[in-house]
Structure 1
Amino acid sequence: MTVSEAVTILDGEFFNGQDRAALEVHSACGADLMSDVMAFVKEKVLLLTGLVNPQVIRTAELLDIKCIIFVRGKRPSMDMIDMAEEADIILAGTKLPMFLACGRLYEGGLKAGGTRPI
Structure 2
Amino acid sequence: MKISDIIQILDAQLLTPGADLEKEVHTACGSDMMSDVLAFVKDQSVLITGLNNPQVVRTADMMDMICIVFVRGKRPDAGILALAEERGMAILCTRHTMFTACGLLYEQGLRGGVG
TM-score bin (small chain): over 0.9
- Aligned: 1:98 with 2:98: yes
Instruction: Provide the aligned length of Structure 1 versus Structure 2.
Output: 115
Kept in 1: contact 2:4–2:21 (CA 8 A)? yes
Aligned residues: CA RMSD: 1.2
Q: Quote how far apart the aligned CAs of 1:17 are.
A: 4.3
Return 5+ residue gaps in structure 1 as ranges. Answer: none
Residue type matched to 2:80 in 1? M
Q: Decide whether aligned partners of structure 1 residues 7 and 18 sit closer, same or farther in structure 2, where only a CA change above 3 A counts.
A: farther
> 4+ runs of 1 displaced by more than 4 Å?
none
- Aligned: 1:6 with 2:6: yes
What residue in structure 1 maps to residue 32 of structure 2?
32
Q: Quote how far apart the aligned CAs of 1:41 are.
A: 3.5
Residue type matched to 1:67 in 2? C
Return 5+ residue gaps in structure 2 as ranges. Answer: none
Question: What TM-score, normalized by structure 1, do the two folds share?
Answer: 0.92
What residue in structure 1 maps to residue 76 of structure 2?
76
Q: Quote how far apart the aligned CAs of 1:42 are.
A: 2.9
Residue type matched to 1:73 in 2? G
Q: Quote how far apart the aligned CAs of 1:69 are.
A: 0.5
Q: Quote how far apart the aligned CAs of 1:3 are.
A: 0.6
